[in-house]
Amino acid sequence: MTTDPRAPKGATEATRAAHAALAARLRLDDRADFERAERGLLARTEDDAILNAFGLPSWDFTANRALAATPAAPETVNPSLWRQARLNAAHGLYEVTEGIYQVRGYDLANITFVRGERGWIVIDPLTAAETSAAALAAVTAHFGELPVTAVVYTHCHVDHFAGIRGVVSDEDVASGRVRVIGPEGFLQHAVSENVIAGTAMSRRALYMYGMLLPKGAHGHVDTGLGRAVAGGTWGLVPPTETVSETGTELVVDGVRMVFQVTPGTEAPAEMNFLFPDHRALCLAENCSAVLHNLYTPRGAEVRDALAWSGYIDEALRDHAPAADVVFASHHWPRWGAEDITAYLTKQRDAYRYLHDQTMRLANQGLVATEIAEQLELPPGLADEFFLRDYYGTVNHNAKAVYQKYLGWFDANPAHLHPLPPVEAARKYVVYMGGAEAVLERAREDFAKGEYRWVAEAVNHVVFADPSHQDARLLQADALEQLGYQAESGPWRDFYLTGALELRQGTPELPGLRNPVQPDVLRGMPGSMLLDYLAVRLDGPRAAGRALRLELRLVDAGTAHLVELSHGTLHHRVCAPGTVTEPDAVVSLTRAALAGLADDATTFPELLSDRTIEVLDGRSDALSDLLELLVTFDLFFPVIER
């Protein structure tokens, strides 16, 4: 019987030795986190899955149960990551304190329900409408039916807002029956991450969260931050009110909330808040049971470690003394002054240490990769499970601090204008004596357990000749062992997804070509929709064209001058009828503009049914612009070029 060379392999001796060495250093049998994770359990679902409208799973509970029943890590999983995965497998309805409840283990994040005078205040309604609806159903089954009276977004990441339509409707919000509260800048940054950079970030997220991997010991195990990202229906309902200042106090359905705004920390727009009458502090995603990302591998703005540390210090000083419990949008709460103080102090110190020591070494002449290889958290921080590399890592966080201050260039002139990857790879392979010579040496290094170097060296062969199957398979084998060894859930998923695509090729799934969901587009104001169209403009093809349009968004009550100039698309709000010499004056709804942003081929239909009306000028002017837009392909190549 022949073994399929594309099939996953087992752990090598070098990987087993690495796992054994780590297990010997850590207190993997410590039960304190397991007790915290199960404290306050009120109910646990017996369902196997949360299904979407097509009867397909949005969330699978069977994997949670299997993890919980398997204490010993498989040899293909880092034992520390396995411990974290088992903690994240805890799922159900939990009491945080009287009047505050969480549903955990239904999605990547937690959803929190606070009992108000009339109904529920919902904090962070998860990634998908299906999972947030299931969480609300679990609360209703235990407490009885109550309306949702408010939704609070702690920050602008998709796993904290996109499931909102599972708990409220547009009519609820439009009528004022439900308040939607978020930090200042929420909508701008939610759109920036999920639309402007949406395709690139979504492609990278497939790697970071292991969405294409099988679940289990040879594939995705855990993200570190939670079990996985739920599938299902995304939505975006903009806040009806925003919080811009620390110290703001709101009474929401009779419940007092005191806010601390924390921009530039875990998200560009984020906030913590205290429930003074419950003596409970919500830390959003600024403190969780992992070392978090100062740079997220899916791609986003680099975060400010110094500010992050400072805001935790502010919470420790101003709010922690008034709290008997702290909880967050991921993981489990902490109760009591001693546990709270130690938790916040060490989280504060970790981000400050990463900031200060990275810059100390940078100012001594080390570059980002050298700093990352050298820097470690000191004793007292490194041995805390809530600061382990389960999500962010010391290694890539040090590079993030360097990038924030000094950027991508390390001052070595040889790196100022390097060749692009494919051209460089072809020359590297020639210099190294050809592809077969590279592979011969790489196989020797693989046998020594030098997987990092094998992956880097053989990558040149793959980029130089993506059809070279022996190179693809050897690089996949190296990435696979790196994935098995990774303590970080995202690192594991990146490595194993790379191995998968090397063995099986870049996916072709036409149904997933456009990662920007129509409902997200419908939630965007006209100016943001036009920014999205500007990013999709084919600049070289448009460079010789000029166009002036007046777009009147009748439902929004706004008009926009839209100007095509030298391969760029400009827009600004204007008074109707003030655009001089327009090529066309077009009337349409904001929803119609969102529809064109989703699928420009619908233009003739919308024009025919008078959803779009050309009030003056050329009837084809808007279509001329739409024809200059490119359609992004989610599955662009990553592991090959």
Q: Are 499 and 473 in contact (CB under 8 A)?
A: no
Mean pLDDT of 132-153: 98
Mean pLDDT of 140-167: 97
According to the model, what pLDDT value does residue 515 have?
A: 65
* Residue % of the chain over a pLDDT of 70: 99
Which amino acid would we find at residue 390?
Y
Mean pLDDT of 610-628: 94
Residues of the chain within CATH 1.25.40.880 domain(s) are 415-510
Mean pLDDT of 71-81: 97
Greater confidence (128 vs 3) lies with: 128
269-278, 330-339, 452-461, 630-639: least confident range: 630-639
Is the pLDDT reported for residue 214 higher than 90?
yes
Split at pLDDT 50, 70, 90, the class of 1 is: very low
Split at pLDDT 50, 70, 90, the class of 152 is: very high
| Summary mean pLDDT of the chain | 95
Is the pLDDT reported for residue 592 higher than 70?
yes
Query: How far apart are the C-alpha atoms of 131 and 117, rounded to whole Å?
Result: 25
- CA dihedral of residues 396, 398, 404, 409 (deg, nearest 10): -80
Query: How far apart are the C-alpha atoms of 44 and 357, rounded to whole Å?
Result: 44
| Kind plus residue range of the DSSP H or E element containing 426 | helix 421-431
For residue 223, the tally of other CB atoms under 10 A from its CB is 26
Mean pLDDT of 381-399: 98
Mean pLDDT of 580-609: 92
| 31-43+52-404: CATH topology | Metallo-beta-lactamase; Chain A (3.60.15)
In 3D space, the residue among 217, 232, 242, 251 whose CA is nearest the CA of residue 107 turns out to be 232
For residue 544, the tally of other CB atoms under 10 A from its CB is 8
In 3D space, the residue among 64, 165, 77 whose CA is nearest the CA of residue 107 turns out to be 64
Helix (H, G, I), strand (E, B) or coil at 73: coil
Query: How far apart are the C-alpha atoms of 635 and 513, rounded to whole Å?
Result: 7
Q: In CATH, what number does 415-510 get?
A: 1.25.40.880
Is the pLDDT reported for residue 519 higher than 80?
no
Question: How far is residue 418 from each of residues 248, 424, 429, 484, 640, measured CA to CA in Å?
Answer: 50, 8, 16, 32, 19
Residues of the chain within CATH 3.30.1050.10 domain(s) are 525-626
Q: Are 204 and 299 in contact (CB under 8 A)?
A: yes
pTM above 0.85, yes or no: yes
In 3D space, the residue among 165, 181, 415 whose CA is nearest the CA of residue 284 turns out to be 181
In 3D space, the residue among 526, 529, 553, 524 whose CA is nearest the CA of residue 238 turns out to be 524
At 475-485, the pLDDT tens digits run: 999 999 999 99
Residues of the chain within CATH 3.60.15.30 domain(s) are 31-43+52-404
According to the model, what pLDDT value does residue 426 have?
A: 97
Is the pLDDT reported for residue 522 higher than 90?
no
DSSP state of 242: E
53-57, 119-123, 237-241: least confident range: 53-57
In 3D space, the residue among 286, 291, 284, 293 whose CA is nearest the CA of residue 329 turns out to be 284
Split at pLDDT 50, 70, 90, the class of 50 is: very high
At 270-283, the pLDDT tens digits run: 999 999 999 999 99
Question: How far is residue 433 from each of residues 27, 44, 286, 419, 443, measured CA to CA in Å?
Answer: 48, 61, 50, 19, 15
According to the model, what pLDDT value does residue 158 have?
A: 93
Q: Which residues lie across from 243 on neighbouring strands?
A: 183
According to the model, what pLDDT value does residue 3 have?
A: 78
Query: How far apart are the C-alpha atoms of 242 and 227, rounded to whole Å?
Result: 30
Split at pLDDT 50, 70, 90, the class of 514 is: low
> Using CB atoms within 10 A of its CB, is residue 290 exposed (0-12), middle (13-18) or buried (19+)?
buried
In 3D space, the residue among 251, 295, 302 whose CA is nearest the CA of residue 277 turns out to be 251
At 339-359, the pLDDT tens digits run: 999 999 999 999 999 999 999
Mean pLDDT of 313-339: 98
Nearest-5° Cα angle at 477, 476 to 483: 85
Pair of tokens at residue 595: 């529809």
Nearest-5° Cα angle at 593, 587 to 595: 135
Is the pLDDT reported for residue 511 higher than 60?
no
Mean pLDDT of 246-254: 98
63-67, 136-140, 147-151: least confident range: 63-67
Nearest-5° Cα angle at 56, 55 to 58: 120
Pair of tokens at residue 340: 């709270």
Q: Round to the nearest angstrom and report the end-to-end CA distance of the chain.
A: 34
Greater confidence (451 vs 528) lies with: 451
Task: Provide DSSP, 244-310.
Answer: -STT-EEEETTEEEEEEE-TTSSSSSBEEEEETTTTEEE-TTTS-SS---SS-TT--PPP-HHHHHH
Is the pLDDT reported for residue 513 higher than 80?
no
Domain 525-626 has CATH 3.30.1300.10: no
Query: How far apart are the C-alpha atoms of 396 and 87, rounded to whole Å?
Result: 24
